[in-house]
Structure 1
Amino acid sequence: MKKYVMLFLFFIGCFAMQAQELNWHTDVKEAVDLSAKEHKPIMLFFTGSDWCGWCIRLQNEVLKTPEFAKWAQENVILVELDFPRRTAQSPEIRNQNNQLQQVFGIQGFPTVFFANVETTDGKINFKGLGRTGYVAGGPQPWLDSANTILKNK
């Protein structure tokens, strides 16, 4: 009987983990379309995933937590704009990320930029709401900071 209970709990845990899994978009145009459809702002995460210590720390302490997953599903469309040094990237993604780094004036990593998006005549216009980076103390202080920014919606 214990085996069945353990097996049942294992499967429930697997389904719960899948429900917490977030969809990080790497194609901004796809995220813009989803943002318009769901009427949610975009959260652009500028990161150096394979070399930036603070980026990795933000991922582990905040962005991979259940608290963040719940908050993100309710509030934003997630976009990861990665600038890796050792991981291969397609030229299209690399060019897109470099252009957005220029547009938003990103000079350091990690930077998280929140924006509303409007499309006019096929052109994408970002209305910046604010930015943040690493916030010490785990998910709740970071989420408090993000919620303060999103009040400007």
Structure 2
Amino acid sequence: MKNYIVIALLFLSTLVTNAQEKLTWHTNFEEASKIAMKEGKPLMLFFTGSDWCGWCVRLQKEVFEHDEFVDWAEENVVLLELDFPRRKELPYELKQQNFNLQQLLGVRGYPTVWFANVENQGTKKAPKLNLDKLGRMGYQRGGSEAWIASAEALINKK
């Protein structure tokens, strides 16, 4: 009986790992913006406290680690993680970028997920990126299906 439990746990952990490996979470705003503009997709900006925020971890486990979310995200958005950890040190440039975006979007709590279209209001040689905000959300009950339905409503509203 113990062998079956161990095998089942290993199988489940493999599924979660495979789902996470499929996702590409960018951390560089400019890089993610270029991809979003090229692919014609909105950015999904995930503001998180990865090593201290319980609701952030819960959102990742209940939504982001599921195949439904992985498939949806690959099709519909470019993922950008903006982390505010307490126990690990981020490079200064990344910290500054995350802080600036937090201020720009008025993020006051975690997790916060903003959806925005990226527009270049400059030139190719001197880009000036602008975010056209579509809406924001955070953790919500109901798992990946409910979360995706709410996200769809935000990115598809006219």
- Give the TM-score of the pair, scaled to structure 1: 0.87
Gaps of 5+ in 2: 1-10
The change in CA–CA distance for 1:58 and 1:30 in structure 2 (over 3 A counts) is same
Q: Which secondary structure does the structure 2 equivalent of 1:51 belong to?
A: coil
* SS state at 1:43 partner: strand
* Matching of residue 55 in structure 1 with residue 60 in structure 2: no
Of residues 132, 140, 143, the one that matches 2:145 is 140
Take 1:138 and 1:80, find their aligned partners in 2: how far apart are those partners? Answer: 20
Separation in 2, partners of 1:51, 1:64 = 18
Deviation digits for residues 89-142 of structure 1 (CA, Å, limit 9, x no counterpart): 100000000000000000000000000000121111000000000011110110
- Local SS of the residue matching 2:26: coil
Structure 1 residues 18 and 45, CA, compared in 2 at 3 Å: closer, same or farther? Answer: closer
For 1:152 and 1:125, locate their aligned partners in 2 and report how far apart those are by CA, in whole Å. 19
Aligned-partner residue type, residue 149 of structure 1? L
Provide TM-score, normalisation by structure 2.
0.84
Deviation at 1:17, TM superposition (A): 2.7
Change (3 A) 1:51 1:75: same
Number of aligned residue pairs: give it: 141
| 4+ residue segments displaced more than 6 Å | none
* Structure 1 letter corresponding to 2:70: A
